[in-house]
Amino acid sequence: MREYNVARRRMVDEQLRERGITNQAVLQAMAEVPRHLFVPPGLRHRAYAACALPIGFGQTISKPFTVGLMTALLELQGGERILEIGTGSGYQAAILSRLAAEVVTVERVIALADSARELLTAFECTNVSVRAADGLDGAPDRAPFDAIIVTACATEVPQEMVNQLADGGYLLLPLQRQNDQVLYRCQRHGEQLRVSASLPVGFVPLQTGLQEARASA
Ligand code: SAH
């Protein structure tokens, strides 16, 4: 719909470009993916606002700037295999699918994984596979990953993610630090991780185990 296209163009200009995101491929992907279809129908009119929105089960779709920033920090060239922990709505995965070769995304709330899978299939994101599982285990059968992006807040760097990261690859994750959340970009060098960037963010917490509840909470 035309109003959504106008709102999406403004989102890219005002929330991304004017706030310092310059990566053309990221801007283009976010200009093309219909974010309003990844939020609950009752919230579509706010889909392009500069805020996170509830998607049910106590979870949220991240605000556009956070999605743009995290995607840009991955510095994707197009040939990468990426692991995302925290599929949520599937929006971040849809953006990544346009910028990388393969995306494996893991979600612990089965109902969210199901609806994201349906949406991503409808958008013909054929290079994305959605898994309902505890993302803390990663996806060992597809490792190593050129990049790993965690879209829920951890308290420490999960060792399994380091194990599944290719040498030279980036691990992007928010960590709880006292009362603040900080986004870290870590690059693997052999058995070491080098932290190269950090910014304040606000994510839902990373939880453990699979959640089978079907009712939205
Ligand atoms: N990237 C999402 C937003 C993520 S919200 C989007 O584009 O919409 C964070 C998501 O992480 C929630 O859906 C939550 O259920 C999920 N999550 C939290 N802990 C997890 C874990 N251990 N494994 C997999 N998913 C997890």
Tens-digit pLDDT profile for residues 106-147: 999 999 999 999 999 999 999 999 999 999 999 999 999 999
Q: Which residues lie across from 202 on neighbouring strands?
A: none
Confirm or reject: Cβ of 164 under 6 Å from ligand 1: no
Q: Are 128 and 106 in contact (CB under 8 A)?
A: no
Please report the domains of the chain, with CATH numbers, ordered by start residue. 52-201 (3.40.50.150)
Q: Which residues are catalytic?
A: 62
What confidence tier does 2 reach under pLDDT thresholds 50, 70, 90?
Answer: confident
Helix (H, G, I), strand (E, B) or coil at 7: helix
What confidence tier does 213 reach under pLDDT thresholds 50, 70, 90?
Answer: low
What phi and psi, each to the nearest 5 degrees, are found at residue 95? -65, -45
Q: Are 120 and 90 in contact (CB under 8 A)?
A: yes
Confirm or reject: Cβ of 174 under 6 Å from ligand 1: no
Tell me the two tokens of residue 170: 């980036």
What confidence tier does 214 reach under pLDDT thresholds 50, 70, 90?
Answer: low
Over residues 18-77, the pLDDT tens digits come to 999 999 999 999 999 999 999 999 999 999 999 999 999 999 999 999 999 999 999 999
Centroid of ligand 1 to alpha carbon of 2 (angstroms)? 30
If you take atom 17 of ligand 1, which residue's CA is the nearest one?
A: 86
If you take atom 11 of ligand 1, which residue's CA is the nearest one?
A: 86
Going from the C-alpha of 14 to that of each of 7, 10, 17, the distances in angstroms are 10, 6, 6
What phi and psi, each to the nearest 5 degrees, are found at residue 21? -90, 115
Centroid of ligand 1 to alpha carbon of 173 (angstroms)? 12
Q: How high is the pLDDT of residue 117?
A: 98
Over residues 79-97, the pLDDT tens digits come to 999 999 999 999 999 999 9
Centroid of ligand 1 to alpha carbon of 148 (angstroms)? 13
Ligand 1 pocket: which of 98, 109, 175 to mutate (most atoms within 8 A of CB): 109
Atom of ligand 1 at shortest range from CA of 211: 15
Its pTM surpasses 0.75: yes
Residue 203 has pLDDT above 80, yes or no: yes
